[in-house]
Copies of this chain bind each other. A is one copy, B any other.
Amino acid sequence: MASYHHGDLRRVLLSTAAEAIAESGPAALSLRELARRAGVSHAAPAHHFGDKAGLLTALATQGFDLLADALRQAGDDLLDTGVAYVGFAVRHRAHFDVMFRPELYRADDPELVAARARSGELLRGGVARRTGREPDADALAAWSIVHGFATLWLSGALPPRVGDDPEAAARTVIGRLFS
C-alpha cells in the first residue's frame, strides 16, 4: 500500500529507534533498517530528523524529559531520587545510552539544552533539600555515584554477586554516601 501521510511516523521512528538501540547500541543503529521496521521508504527518517544526528538529538531530548518525569515522581527524598535515576537508566536504557554521548547528536540544539536543564534542576534540587549545605560538592558526589552505578550496571561490568535488582542494589550503594 505504501500509503502516504502515515501521520505518526515521527513517533513510531523514535520508539523503533529506542528498541533497536536497546538491542545493539547506538553505533549499530541504521536509518534504513529503521525505515524497514516501520514499513516506510529508506529516506523517510531523514525527512523527519534531517540526518542520523537529528534523530539521536530528538531521542536524547525525549530522554531528558523522561528523566525529569521520573525524578519528579520520586518525590523529595534524595535516596529515592537516586534510586529513580538508576531506575530510569535501566527502564529507558536506549535513551540513557544516547543522552550522555554528545558526540552522537547536536548538543547545542535549543530544545535539547532546555530539556537537559530541566532535569538537571530537579537533580540539584533533591540534593539541596537533603543536606542544606552548599550543594555543589554534594550534588556532584550524589550524581556521580548514581550515574556511575547505572553506567556500570548497563555495561554488564558488575559481578553477578550484586544481584538482579538494580534499584535495590542502588539503594544500598547510595546509602554508603551518608554513613
Q: Which residues of A contact B (CB under 8 A)?
A: 24-28, 100-104, 107, 136-138, 140-141, 143-152, 155-158, 161-162, 169, 172-174, 176-177
Question: Do A155 and B27 have beta carbons less than 8 Å apart?
Answer: no
Which B residue sits closest to A116, measured CB to CB? B157
Taken together, the copies of this chain in the complex come to 2
Question: Do B152 and A100 have beta carbons less than 8 Å apart?
Answer: yes
Residues of B within 8 A of A151 (CB): 100, 147-148, 151
Residues of B within 8 A of A140 (CB): 149, 158, 162, 169, 172-173
Q: Is the interface of A mostly helix, strand, loop or mixed?
A: helix
Name, among A107, A144, A152, A172, the residue most crowded by chain B CB atoms within 10 Å (CB to CB).
A144
Residues of B within 8 A of A136 (CB): 161
**Nearest CB in chain B: distance from A88 CB, A:** 14
Residues of B within 8 A of A103 (CB): 24-25, 27-28
Question: Do A144 and B138 have beta carbons less than 8 Å apart?
Answer: no
Which B residue sits closest to A86, measured CB to CB? B144
Question: Do A137 and B101 have beta carbons less than 8 Å apart?
Answer: no
Question: Do B24 and A172 have beta carbons less than 8 Å apart?
Answer: no
Residue of B24, B25, B162, B177 near A177 (CB, 8 A) is B177
Question: Do A144 and B149 have beta carbons less than 8 Å apart?
Answer: yes
**Nearest CB in chain B: distance from A57 CB, A:** 15
> Complex Cα distance A173/B135, Å?
12
Which B residue sits closest to A150, measured CB to CB? B148
Question: Do A148 and B158 have beta carbons less than 8 Å apart?
Answer: no
**Nearest CB in chain B: distance from A77 CB, A:** 18
Residue of B24, B137, B158, B176 near A141 (CB, 8 A) is B176
> Complex Cα distance A177/B155, Å?
23
**Nearest CB in chain B: distance from A118 CB, A:** 14
